[in-house]
Amino acid sequence: LPDNHDIISLKLYQLTVERTPEEEKRDREVYLPVVDNLKLPGMEAPLEPMSGLALFLIVFFSLVAIVFAIVIGVIIYNKWQEQSRKHFY
C-alpha cells in the first residue's frame, strides 16, 4: 500500500561563518565528493581487436547468408512468374 506525504513547510537556515583560506581549502576537500571508479555510460573500456579467425568466420557466414537470401528470392520470383503466366490461360 503506498503512502502519500505532503510537504507542508520547510525551514531553511543559512550559517555564515568567517573562515580563513586554509579552512576553506580543508573544508572543500572534505565536502567535495570524489569517485575514483566511476563508469559513465558510453565510456566503456576499448574492446580488444578481433582475431583473424573470428573475422573470417563473421565474413564467411555473412556471405553464406547473403547467397542464401538471393537464392530464396530467385525461387520466390520464379514461382510468382509462373503464377502470373498461368493466370491468363
Residue 32 lies in a domain: no
Which pLDDT score is estimated for 37? Answer: 67
Which helix (H) or strand (E) element contains residue 56? helix 52-86
Residue 19: the pLDDT is 77
b/e per residue, 28-61, with b = 16+ CB within 10 A?
eeeeeeeeeeeeeeeeeeeeeeeeeeeeeeeeee
Looking at per-residue pLDDT, the higher value among 17 and 7 belongs to 7
Number of domains in the chain: 1
Residue span of the structural domain in which 76 resides: 51-88
The answer to whether residue 69 sits within a structural domain is: yes
Centre a 10 Å sphere on the Cβ of residue 5 and count the other Cβ atoms it contains. Answer: 5
Residues 21 and 29: beta-carbon distance below 8 Å: no
